Structure 1
């Protein structure tokens, strides 16, 4: 019984822990998701809507870890309140750090975000986490959640917090 348990543990751990090298290199793809936003300050409203975008990045191997950068752009269809404001797009410059667990990459991400709204454009920051699964032939599918903060949008006195939840598909090249 102990031999079976030991063999099972060895098989599970050898299947899930592998080199981060399989996650090294360039990738690009698209994402779609939902954006939910709340504002405070001169106006307190909320709204949500869909996003659709593209991303391009590069990851490098550092031992068992993966470190990289990514740029992405989402178009958005989000109306806040009864038409007080609209979020038209989001662009992000990301740093990603994670670990490769076999065919799965788990990572955290942070960086600078730029929102294009009907009130004006504003730069803020974001934090988030994601997961990707290698499904073969260079394709990776996964999900990502990002929390954004924008302060005093274009001098309007309105602060906004936005959360995106998205599905992603990337091709490694």
Structure 2
């Protein structure tokens, strides 16, 4: 009887490690979230804009004694158009190039501003969900009336901000100062535009 008890005790002692090895430890209650996808501003985009412009035209009599009055007029109105560009993202620094055209209803009495086109560089800071930038470049104005031709080159500079609504859609706004010095007969046009933008990233 004692021998059988001893054998049973030995068997139970030897079997214990085997059973212990089959016990599954409790799962770790904390599961690390997957890493967030890397988000940047690099790549091509295109979109539309709508805004408001406030321009001044200043011209003097190009020929003394000629029947041409001096002009100093201001007008404001709506403008809207399309844009396209490409960005490069270098961490916190983003830079790129953008072209756009706006059609306007701005008119200095009989002198109409038909379109304003721009080719600009943009450079600024990537904050993750926003791109805050300064911009500058060349601008071209088209328009005519009252003996004037507003067709001519100038320059543009300003600032803006873009906000990511998603990885594809971007909403933004900008404020741009323009100056055109070679309108005819003799004078120039300058002023500001303020626009809201919506872009799609390809």
Common topology (TM > 0.5): yes
Higher RCO structure (Cα 8 Å, ≥6 apart): 1
What is the Cα deviation at residue 158 of structure 1? 1.9
- 1:71 aligns to 2:96 (yes or no): no
Normalising by structure 2, what TM-score? 0.72
Normalising by structure 1, what TM-score? 0.83
Structure 1: distance between partners of 2:137 and 2:167? 30
Name the larger-Rg structure.
2
The equivalences for 1:22-171 within 5 A come to: 22-42=40-60, 43-80=71-108, 83-118=109-144, 119-120=148-149, 121-153=151-183, 155-171=184-200
- Deviations along 1:104-144, one digit per CA (max 9) or x if unpaired, are 01000000000001132010000010001001151000100
Structure 1: distance between partners of 2:89 and 2:167? 20
Conserved in 1, the CA contact under 8 Å of 2:91 and 2:126? no
What is the Cα deviation at residue 162 of structure 1? 2.0
Give the gaps of 5 or more residues in structure 2. 1-37, 61-70
Query: Could you say which structure has the higher strand fraction?
Result: 1
Say what the alpha-carbon RMSD is for the aligned residues. Answer: 1.3
Ranges of 4+ aligned residues in structure 1 off by more than 2 Å: none
Structure 1: distance between partners of 2:91 and 2:199? 23
